[in-house]
Structure formats: structure tokens, C-alpha cells
Amino acid sequence: KIETLMNDINNYGILFNTNKEWQRLRLQRTNLFTALDTPAKFKSYFEEEVDSINAAMGRLSMLIERAESTPQKERILESSAFQKDFANL
């Protein structure tokens, strides 16, 4: 729970609970999880999430391969923006 709290603070700020975007996202997630009332619905949701993660990892892999084939490879892979995004992923 602390990790979730810290993630919300990092994404939405210290007063994240007053952030309308966070509130909408939280309500959306709550509604989604209450709708998963059968094993079949949960399985379907879980498979969609895994597919989404696999697609994101595939895109990331392609970007890393492209970065490795450029002369600026080290600069790209060592940039703070890339490292931050990679760590968040």
C-alpha cells in the first residue's frame, strides 16, 4: 500500500487526493474491479491486461533495438529521461 501511495504522490503530487484526475482514475478502477464478479470476467480482464503489457514490452524492445543500431546508442541509453521511463515501466 505504501508503494501505491508513493506512486500516486509521484504522479499526482503531494495533495493527490484532491486531484480530479486521480479521483476519476480511482473511481474508474473501483468500478472495474466491482464489475469483475465472475471468474470468466476476471480471466478476460487479466488476459487483456497481460496482452497490453506484452504489446508495451514489444514496443520497448523495438525502441531499444533501434537505439542500439544508432551511433548515439550510449547517449540514448544513459539519458536520464530514458532511464526514468524505463524504470517506471
pLDDT one-digit tens code per residue, 46-73: 899 899 889 988 888 887 787 788 888 7
Burial of 16 (0-12, 13-18, 19+ CB in 10 A): middle
pLDDT in tens, 16-47: 778 888 888 888 888 888 888 888 988 998 89
Cell of 83: 532511464
